[in-house]
Chains A and B, each alone.
Chain A
Amino acid sequence: MTRFILKRILQGILTAWVIVTILFIVFRTMPGDPTYFLVDPELPEESRELVRERLGLNKPLATQYFIYLSGLAKGDLGESLWYSVPVSTIIGEKFFNTLILALLAFVLQYSLGIIGGIVWAATRRSRFESVSTIFALGVRSMPQFWLGIVMVMIFGVALKLFPTSGIRESGYVANTLAEKYLDLDFLHHLILPVAVLTLSRIAIPMLLLKDTILELYGEDFMDLIKAKGVSRVKELWHAARNAFIPIVTTAAISLGTALGGQVMVEVVFSWPGLGREIIASVSRRDYSMAQSSFLLLSLTVIGFNLLADIAYRYLDPRISET
């Protein structure tokens, strides 16, 4: 088992390195001048050259690559071209903001989803089951950003129940961690984005559980349980227990996928997280910030996938190491 974990971690590091390289190539060789926003177009070309030299952008690409890699190894993510501070000082908070949304939504999605799935399976293969499946898939089909906009329209504007954007009221001075996050206003701002993320993806565990349970009803072991004469609820529970395995295996990967889509929700709600930062930095050609944010997001996905594999292996040692 330990060998498996070590091997997977090594693979993870290798994958991470490949991604670092891909990102570097994408950001440094794509068209677009990072000095565009930094230097007044009125100034002569020499000023622009000075800025480029200061940022090290006029060195050959290979040299830039090695400088970047060695910086990464030391934990130096470079300086943000837009914010003019080291990336590492601001990226932490954005990462945390993204994680809060993602993890909270994930917990809600799977806890409510599992309960919902089990209850749903109790309806057996009825007309209701078919119709409700269409409805569940319908919600799942909605673009997350659109669901967000609609919910803002209903709950934020029409009903005025929740704030429509941001992470807290502007003008609020928050310095300590507690002031920032253990605060009613923050919670108030948290509700809509989390609701959107949860609602959008809750069909995944619900459908999976419902389908698996209903399928299991047909298995041999269920005939035995029925023959024992147990109550409908107990019968349901026996099927549900076996249905959990696919849920566990898909859960962590689902979290990885969710992180990618969260970008859209962060943009709609102006939530200051990693996703929104990637988009904003790319628009501003702030390479260091964009690269680092993207890298951090990818590493998080790698991390979750790693946990998924380990959990899977722990639950079912039969799988081969592909």
Chain B
Amino acid sequence: MTGRLSSAFAFRGSLSRRARAAVALGSSSLVLLLWQIASWCDLLDPTFLPAPLDILDTLYTMTMRGEIIGNALISIARILAAFLLSAVMAIPIGMLMSSFRPVSAALEPIIDFIRYLPTPALIPISIIWFGVGEETKIFLLWLGTFFQLVLLVVDDANRVPHEYVEVARTLGARPYEILRDVIWRAMLPALVNNLRITLGWCWTYLILAEIVAADNGLGYVIWTARRYMKTDEVMAGVFVIGIIGLVTDQVMRALHAWLFHDQEAGR
């Protein structure tokens, strides 16, 4: 037992899948348990922080009232639409920026300028442009992710070993063939990882967009509950977002492992 423990705690040591899941579940449960106990002991004011079991109870009644699933689906749909738009634009533009100097020279200053603007500061202009419909939300999400993602794509493409490109050139590949057959394939594992991380950021901007201009979605649910000081409903909404994030991330990780396990540690 002590041997297993010391190997688990070895610097960059290994941990079996089951042990990993057990530790992950245990630590989360412990936090919830302490929180619940603190509530039972009247250490927490439910107006500010309701007990986990009460939040769960509220979540159940809200789901039964039909307030959760529909709104969650609307939020997810907004995220997917905006995220796909970002990715579809950022991937080719980033690859071209990495491959052709004039393209990066032309676009880098623009991207860097917009990237440093806080998205909330652009809400007014976006409402003036697009009104308060779906366009504004999609635009804000796109704004928050595209300019970050495009630079991550540039980085991924830059990190493709030059040897791969030169091998392809000596085999007679033309520039667009190198992009399609070498750069794209070589950067794909890193790209999927970056997409996973960027997808998480989308939620930040989604809630923002739904607070400002929406009559549905999880952000709207949370913001409405706040107006009536229904802290348990606020927490229930936040909890749903957390769960969606957790599930999405795990699915993306599994997808990554399934797609790329063959080429791991390959040279």
A, B: real partners:
no
